[in-house]
Amino acid sequence: MSAALSAAMAAAPAAGRAVPPAMLAALGDRLGARCSVALAVREQHGRDESPIDAPPPDCVVFAEATEEVAFVVALANEHAVPVIPYGAGSSLEGHLLAVQGGISLDLTRMNKILRVNAEDLTVTVQPGVTRNQLNAELRHAGLFFPIDPGADATLGGMAATRASGTNAVRYGTMRENVLGLQVVTASGETISTGSRARKSSAGYDLTRLMVGSEGTLGVISELSLRIYPLPEAVSAAVCFFPSIDAAVQTTIQIIQMGIPIARCELLDANSVRAVNKHDRLALREAPMLLMEFHGSAAGVAEQAQSVQEIAKEFGGEDFDWATTPEARTRLWAARHHAYLSALQMKPGCRCVTTDTCVPISRLAESIAESVREVEASGLPYFIVGHVGDGNFHLGYLIDPEIPAERETAEALSAQMVARALRLEGTCTGEHGIGLHKQGFLVDEAGEGAVAMMRSIKLGLDPRNIMNPGKIFTL
């Protein structure tokens, strides 16, 4: 257990935060079986994809409408009980753990796509809609939503963690693609932030404040998002390199030249080996870039041509094109399985994942030193990276039964973060702070900035009911 997590758990008041019987009765009266205290349901909602364990929430509520969310939150505020918004459960940083007890508020039944405004390239959805569900709906209209964190996360959860992923190099992150939100505040009031206009200077940017707030400032109950026309042409290709450095140098040059590449993903040889096994592929087990180009047919050809020339300079082999949509889908599925595939390389293992992001010119140094350190440690690992953004994930595969392995992984992770901060980067490009990176947040932002965050939190949630103990402790 990390120091930050120990602190978070220690900070939980021993009593007074559990759901009191009167509140449970009120929830049951209004929601019936959609308020559950069954252990299996609580346990399912008491974990996420992080390697952290915590006791489950006291109860799980399945909301079906904003009014119900408002009812639950107002009641929780009255009783000073924690509320943890829950979507797909794919957090990697312990966001969903009930470290101070309370209610897990499951929003997956609020999964309606409310409006597609094709002519404005906007869509309005409930928070439980997943990105694959949305894209399946949009495809018929020749549209898509680009943000792709890998997991089929809910859009509410993606907004709450400021998610990004493979397409961010071209389309930005949730930060750039949320137009406005409906939010249930800690007092149970429902407010709107933003509009459907593409830009606005109307007061404080509450939308951007909520995006990335990890459920600590309110519950996102509706989202208006930017969507995009499906490109006229899409091409994907893989290219293999003699070293990780060569692949990264290629990426750096692509970005510096302003080539509008849509996706530019690095997989190290370990990751390629893992996905080969998991997805029955026969990719060469060498550092690989998986790239995608969007645009007009001529534009895509031009981008691909430029990128091939750059890759060749750094010893990259000829592109292997995924010419059919099926071949493309198969490659991206493999990329999305990289995390699970890697876990299967060491049966029974858990994964400590890093998420640093640095200015692109420092990326090669950042990766090279991290690889040197993990190689020296002897821990198995893998690397996947949204390298076009300067962001990569190094996963340390640890045996949960051997505390020394976790300690080694945590120490390596801390070294990586310290380096990323020295290189003017961030400890988390897209996974968020949650429980696991609270110390890193202070290192990165400084005590003064974190104090400012706390002051905002106290102003908007004076009883500290919204996902308490995440991002920072009060």
* Residue numbers 405-434 binding a copy of itself by CB under 8 A: 421, 424-433
User: Which of 249/270 has CB closer to a copy of itself?
Assistant: 249
Q: Give residue 442's identity as a one-letter amino acid code.
A: V
Positions in 98-117 near a copy of itself (CB under 8 A): 117
Q: Which tokens sit at 301?
A: 């050809």
- Taking the C-alpha atoms of residue 352 and residue 364, their distance in angstroms, rounded to an integer, is 22
Q: What is the DSSP string of 438-464?
A: HHHHHHHH-HHHHHHHHHHHHHH-TT-
Among 193, 270, 271, 353, binds a copy of itself (CB under 8 A): 193
Residues of span 254-273 touching a copy of itself by CB under 8 A? 255-258
278 vs 393, beta carbon nearer a copy of itself: 393
Considering only residues 152 through 171, tell me which ones interact with a copy of itself, judged by CB under 8 A.
161-164, 168
Binding mask 386-405 for a copy of itself (x = CB under 8 A): ---xxx--------------
Give yes or no for residue 452 binding a copy of itself (CB under 8 A).
yes
272, 445, 465, 466: residue in contact with a copy of itself (rule CB under 8 A) = 445
The H-assigned helical ranges of 140-201 are 155-160, 168-171, 174-177
User: Does residue 176 touch a copy of itself according to CB under 8 A?
Assistant: yes
Find out whether 193 and 184 touch, Cβ atoms under 8 Å.
Answer: no
Q: Can you read off the two tokens belonging to residue 160?
A: 């709450």
Choose the stretch contacting a copy of itself; rule: CB under 8 A; options: 271-279, 329-337, 339-347, 358-366.
358-366
Q: HSE of 412 in the Cβ direction (CA atoms, 13 Å)? A: 31
Q: How far apart are CA 274 and CA 473, in angstroms?
A: 38
Min. distance of Cβ 38 from a copy of itself in angstroms? Answer: 33
- Answer for which of 122, 154, 235, 270 binds a copy of itself (CB under 8 A) is 122
DSSP state of 424: T
Q: How far is the CB of 204 from a copy of itself (least distance, A)?
A: 5
Q: How far apart are CA 432 and CA 440, in angstroms?
A: 11
Please report whether residue 347 would count as binding a copy of itself according to CB under 8 A. no
Only segment of 9-17, 198-206, 235-243, 320-328 that touches a copy of itself (CB under 8 A): 198-206
Q: How is residue 1 annotated by DSSP? A: -
Strand-pair category, 218-226 with 190-194 = unpaired
Decide if 251 contacts 313 (C-beta within 8 A): no
Total residues at the site for a copy of itself (CB under 8 A)?
A: 90
Report how far residue 285's alpha carbon sits from residue 131's, in angstroms, rounded to the nearest whole number.
30
CB of 389 to a copy of itself, least distance (A): 5
Shortest separation between residue 468's beta carbon and a copy of itself, angstroms: 15
List the one residue out of 383, 443, 446 whose CA is nearest residue 415: 443
Residues 39-58 that bind a copy of itself (CB under 8 A): none
The smaller minimum CB distance to a copy of itself, of residues 63 and 363, is found at: 363
Among 25, 39, 197, 402, binds a copy of itself (CB under 8 A): 197
List CB contacts of 207: < 8 A, sequence separation 6 or more.
178, 179, 180, 181, 193, 194
Residue with tokens 């402790």: 473
Beta carbon nearer to a copy of itself, 21 or 203? 203
